[in-house]
Structure 1
Amino acid sequence: MSTPALIALVAIALVGLASVVIGSLGVRVARSTSDFLVASRTVGAVPNAAAISGEYLSAATFLGVAGIVLREGADALWYPIAFCAGYLALLVLVAAPLRRSGAYTIPDFAEARLHSPRLRRLCTALVLLIGWLYLLPQLQGAGLALTTLTRLPSWVGIVGAGVLVVLSVVAGGMRSITFVQAFQYWLKLTALTVPALIAGALFLGSDRELDRPSAPTFAEATTISVETPVRLEVAADTALTARGTVDGRIVDGPLTWAPGVHEVEAGAELRFEAGSGVPVPAGSPPTDREWLEPHTGGAQLLEIYSILVAGIAGTMGLPHVLVRFYTNPDGRAARRTTVVVLAMIGAVFVLVALLGLLSRAFTPELLVDGRTDGAVLLVPTAVLGDGWAGWLLGGLVSAGAAAAFLSTSSGLVVSLAGVLFTDVLRGRLRDFRLAALVSAVVPIAPALAVTRLDLALTVPLVFAVAAATFCPLLVLGVWWRGLTPAGASAGLLVGAVLSCVGVGFTLVGQVPEGSLGVLLLRPAAVAVPAAFLTMVLVSRVTRAEVPLDVDRTLLQLHAPERLGLSRDRLDGS
């Protein structure tokens, strides 16, 4: 194993070890069900904000956002905007009322609000679906990071991440994970800040440009092995040497690509000389100047709307994010937590967007073989060269990547285990540990079996599912007295079906072109309004089923804690 690979592996192992050790500290203080599920509701605003930021800033953020900026340019900036705006909506609409509900999980909230065991079971199933769908790209991100950095097979990273997450969670539940995720947030922030500052300084001191009317160029002769079929676009005549199947015919020697789209089959090898233009994935901006300009026409405008809806509404519906607000002492602390989170995640999104921008200058070759998700991991050695400085900086970034997939995976496993513990096992604390093990093991098999997915595609799909299901339930449940169990159930089912259609098409890789393909990949623009509308219409038809204590429940959700009307105070908890 090479020196940089060994350094990266050691950095990842140290992060895993530190996470397990910090998590084990929770054993000393986690003794009750409340400790394991919501840390006894004693987490302050700043520590909770660091933990929320740690779990929210996933492998998709750490790796995927920079990758999509590298590929799509200005249009990709809508992703971090949507993800940050989601916390603003969460602050205004649901953070404090959700905390005052006294619930442990989303199914808890649904039953407390609407008194329907059937609705609770449906919510339980959706929590598990969303959680496992979100764990899939996290585990694949772990495999991608390990393969990119060390050349070890991806299954080692997938299985290793699963084991580390289980060890962290079973130690002390939510209380332990709070400490672990706060540590991982600060590590990720450091691992992004240092390379961003170094790469930015070196870029400003060089003659590199990002506003040329031509494609980015290879700094040196580069050979690229294509592992999956790709469609590449060039803006000008491009000379290369190819071996394999290109444009439907077997070639072995020099050729010249005319401007347009070219198809390259898996197993092909492409060699470009220094100064040659870099081909880009078909549909992406082929020149740097186009890459810097936003495009808002036709299907692209529809995609932007759907990204915004999914990011904003999806944040309000992610179970592992919502469960964090149950750990605050009261609703006021929940609001303060959300404000701090906005600052923390905003800083990280600025850094990953900057690294995506800089990767266009330093690692444009990633556009050819589709490894754009690895941009953050490869920028250090591209900037500082193949020496100890680049290797050590790469080790720091490797540690940050490990923290990214471990923190979000841990949060997901805690939220899934909480639902399995309260709604399926209904047992003792050892059953929580069993639930955590099941929660982590289930997605490992599909993560190993499914071809590596583009993080920039799969994570927004999970946000879309959350947006079309739990966002309408929470917003209407908190603010509309007319919601009924039948209306809530119908809306959840409609939102789940419409959003999951896109998940299915993405997993099989069969998505048509045009607006229909955009809506399949980004279903939130249709699924979220449909879910809201269904909940309202069915509730109107079944208005006789409005719970008799709805006014009392809404008073508990909205009354300030000092009045003593929250569910916690009334229950004596």
Structure 2
Amino acid sequence: MVGLLAAAGIMAATLLVGLRGVAAVRTTSDFLVASRRTSPLVNSSAVAGEYLSAGSFVGAAGLMVKDGVGSLWYLVGFAAGYVTMLVLVAAPMRRSGALTVPDFAEARLGSAGLRRLSAVVVLVISTLYLVPQFRAAGLVLSVVSPVPYWVGIVLAAGAVSITLALGGMRAATYVQAFQFVLKMVLFAIPAIWLVVAVGAAVRTQALHPVEFDRFPRETTLVFRDRVTVETAAPVRVDGELLAPGTHSFHGGQRVIFPAGTPTPRVGALEPPGGTAWQRPLFDIGHHGYPLFSTLAVLFATALGTMGLPHMIMRFHTSPDGRAARRTAALTIPLIGLFYLFPAIYGALGGVLVPQLYLSGDTDTVVVALPSQVDSGWQGTLFTGLLTAGCFAAIMTSSLGLLLAGASAISHDLGAGGLGRLRLSVLGSAAAVLLLSLPAARLDAGILVTWAFTVAASTFSPLLVLSIWWSRLTAFGALAGILVGLLVSSTAIGVTVGVPNLSGWAAVLANQPAPLSVPAAFLTMTVVSLRGRPTPWALSAMLRLHVDENDRSSRTSGRSRTVRRRR
């Protein structure tokens, strides 16, 4: 009940804070970019709040319990991505005067077809990123309260869509800036309490893990999905002795393991605390290529950040390019500070709730920890605080993602207008809600990484070459985006449809960025060299790189987009 009240409180706060932006929404620019008047300090807090999603926070801690210490490289990539964005994209994108990434693509290269394709890519990325946010809402609420999985999804989708439909980007900015501070408090205080309350022995074990090879006490597990385990010795489960070999547990099955029972194995997963689990590299799928896997993850997350459409839109809310760069610079330390906490929860989870790797519920590790330390009022209180923090993370990220998707439908693919934008928000939320219902068995971290991979394979090369290379052509950009989208999407499909791959093929199927990103860059470059750039390419490049305060870069009474209007 406390968890349900905490979630309800966060959703009520989201609606109340978001209502501040309703009165200021009169035009499409107000709705999409908050009239371009957001200060760097407020904007950096909003950017950090939007970027620090439930999928990345909860998913990172869960991946650490399931896959080991090497999973923390995801957090390094997420934070490093903002450095590349600061250096290559932030200020030029704001100077472009565009409202969205497809808007920028058409203005820079003069192609309506490129705008439509870019809008489709925005929808793909937004959906891949939104599903784990709503999924996290369902999982967290089902763990801390007796409500079913779908209730959390419906509540989150409702609160986010109503707030955004009423107040647009201005409402999102207020909510995200407020909830960034709130998230810091709600995740930091329980983390400090956990570190102090667990005692010296658990802290030592968290720093020097011991392999989870036996259940230290009687443990009840509820399997979320069908799981096949392998036992090397007889295991007594629910009074029945299981012989050594392979056994399956179905979704929803409740199993009690007596104290001292040897832990079964789940495929190639290394039990928490094992030798491979402690390795400071991430081995995708445990196929034996940890260094390559780690580099692939860094490649996808660092470059993918630069291509996330909802983050690019956020820089358009700055008054000018200099403010956009300051926003990005201020955001980096905020993100770095916040990402200390998933490591704490993951390390403690590997000691206190290592059994979650068997049931497939590792994404619930954050809210599962307080009750393991204290079964009384303190455990209940901190479970409520963490539930509120998770829902705050869900709200902040979902607002930006939903706005990016709705703008692609209404502003970039349709006729636009405030009424259509608001309807698109509601329709997009309903569609993602339906997609989130069957996604309970998928890892949040994996879904988020897929979104980053598609962004790195499509918008990353488009933005870098559009901003820094005057020879890029519309046809080259179209071809490169199609190649990047096709390669990354095919790999994702192979991962879902062919789960028995092994070796290098399995690693590249799970994380195709080392293949798809160079392919997209190379395609854009080669195809563009065989064509002619737009007549306004050099003037557009000048506008992107010259500070707005320079009188020569100003165009009185004319459009402020990168394309020279005729």
Superposition TM-score tier, normalisation by shorter sequence: over 0.9
1:485 maps to a residue whose letter is A
**Equivalent residue, structure 2, for 1:282:** 267
| Alignment partner of 1:101 is 2:96 | yes
- Describe the shift of the 1:565–1:86 C-alpha distance in structure 2 as closer, same or farther (beyond 3 A): farther
| Alpha-carbon displacement from aligned partner over 1:19-48 (angstroms, at most 9, x marks no partner) | 011111111222222211101111111111
| 1:271 partner SS | strand
Partners of 2:118 and 2:553 in 1: CA distance: 23
| 1:206 partner SS | helix
Would the aligned equivalents of 1:84 and 1:345 in 2 still touch at CA under 8 Å?
yes
- Describe the shift of the 1:468–1:274 C-alpha distance in structure 2 as closer, same or farther (beyond 3 A): same
**Equivalent residue, structure 2, for 1:557:** 544
Partners of 2:265 and 2:53 in 1: CA distance: 26
Moved more, 420-429 or 291-300: 291-300
**Equivalent residue, structure 1, for 2:25:** 30
Partners of 1:300 and 1:132 in 2: CA distance: 29
Q: CA deviation at 1:212?
A: 4.9
| Alignment partner of 1:338 is 2:328 | yes
| Alpha-carbon displacement from aligned partner over 1:265-309 (angstroms, at most 9, x marks no partner) | 315554322244544543333362512222578532222121111
2:241 maps to a residue whose letter is P
| 1:254 partner SS | strand
- Describe the shift of the 1:160–1:505 C-alpha distance in structure 2 as closer, same or farther (beyond 3 A): farther
| Alpha-carbon displacement from aligned partner over 1:349-393 (angstroms, at most 9, x marks no partner) | 11111111111111112121010000001111112x221111111
1:41 maps to a residue whose letter is R
| Alpha-carbon displacement from aligned partner over 1:410-436 (angstroms, at most 9, x marks no partner) | 111112222223223324322221121
Would the aligned equivalents of 1:212 and 1:288 in 2 still touch at CA under 8 Å?
yes
Instruction: Say which of 247, 257, 282 aligns to 1:272.
Output: 257
Q: CA deviation at 1:514?
A: 2.1
**Equivalent residue, structure 2, for 1:396:** 385
Partners of 2:259 and 2:143 in 1: CA distance: 23
- Describe the shift of the 1:296–1:222 C-alpha distance in structure 2 as closer, same or farther (beyond 3 A): closer
**Equivalent residue, structure 1, for 2:154:** 159
**Equivalent residue, structure 1, for 2:534:** 547
Would the aligned equivalents of 1:91 and 1:338 in 2 still touch at CA under 8 Å?
yes
Q: CA deviation at 1:151?
A: 3.0
Q: CA deviation at 1:231?
A: 4.1
| Alpha-carbon displacement from aligned partner over 1:244-285 (angstroms, at most 9, x marks no partner) | xxxxxxxx7123658xxx442315554322244544543333
**Equivalent residue, structure 2, for 1:249:** none
Give the TM-score of the pair, scaled to structure 1: 0.91
Q: CA deviation at 1:62?
A: 2.4
| 1:476 partner SS | helix
**Equivalent residue, structure 2, for 1:72:** 67
| 2:241 partner SS | strand
Would the aligned equivalents of 2:137 and 2:156 in 1 still touch at CA under 8 Å?
yes
Instruction: Say which of 415, 419, 422 aligns to 1:426.
Output: 415
Partners of 1:271 and 1:289 in 2: CA distance: 23
Partners of 1:541 and 1:111 in 2: CA distance: 20
| 2:319 partner SS | coil
**Equivalent residue, structure 2, for 1:222:** 219
2:297 maps to a residue whose letter is I
1:65 maps to a residue whose letter is A
Q: CA deviation at 1:220?
A: 2.1
* Uncovered stretches (5+) of structure 2, i.e. residues with no partner: 561-566
Instruction: Say which of 276, 279, 298 aligns to 1:293.
Output: 279
| Alignment partner of 1:183 is 2:178 | yes
2:249 maps to a residue whose letter is E
| Alpha-carbon displacement from aligned partner over 1:439-471 (angstroms, at most 9, x marks no partner) | 212222222244531112111011100110000
Would the aligned equivalents of 2:301 and 2:453 in 1 still touch at CA under 8 Å?
yes
Partners of 2:237 and 2:15 in 1: CA distance: 47
Moved more, 522-531 or 262-271: 262-271
- Describe the shift of the 1:421–1:151 C-alpha distance in structure 2 as closer, same or farther (beyond 3 A): same
Q: CA deviation at 1:60?
A: 1.1
Give the TM-score of the pair, scaled to structure 2: 0.93
Would the aligned equivalents of 1:221 and 1:273 in 2 still touch at CA under 8 Å?
yes
* Uncovered stretches (5+) of structure 1, i.e. residues with no partner: 1-5, 244-251
| Alpha-carbon displacement from aligned partner over 1:302-325 (angstroms, at most 9, x marks no partner) | 221211111011101111111000
Would the aligned equivalents of 1:146 and 1:154 in 2 still touch at CA under 8 Å?
yes
Partners of 1:409 and 1:565 in 2: CA distance: 40
| Alpha-carbon displacement from aligned partner over 1:461-490 (angstroms, at most 9, x marks no partner) | 111001100000000000011101111000
Q: CA deviation at 1:329?
A: 0.8
**Equivalent residue, structure 2, for 1:246:** none
**Equivalent residue, structure 1, for 2:564:** none
**Equivalent residue, structure 1, for 2:563:** none
| Alignment partner of 1:505 is 2:494 | yes
| Alpha-carbon displacement from aligned partner over 1:40-85 (angstroms, at most 9, x marks no partner) | 1111111111111111111212210000111222211110001111
**Identical columns (%):** 40
- Describe the shift of the 1:358–1:566 C-alpha distance in structure 2 as closer, same or farther (beyond 3 A): farther
| Alpha-carbon displacement from aligned partner over 1:72-120 (angstroms, at most 9, x marks no partner) | 2221111000111100000011111111101100011101111111111
Would the aligned equivalents of 1:101 and 1:567 in 2 still touch at CA under 8 Å?
no
Partners of 2:183 and 2:198 in 1: CA distance: 22
Structure 2 matches for 1:30-69, cutoff 5 A? 30-69=25-64
Instruction: Say which of 439, 443, 446 aligns to 1:454.
Output: 443
Q: CA deviation at 1:133?
A: 2.0
1:442 maps to a residue whose letter is A
Instruction: Say which of 353, 358, 365 aligns to 1:363.
Output: 353
| 1:209 partner SS | helix
- Describe the shift of the 1:569–1:491 C-alpha distance in structure 2 as closer, same or farther (beyond 3 A): farther
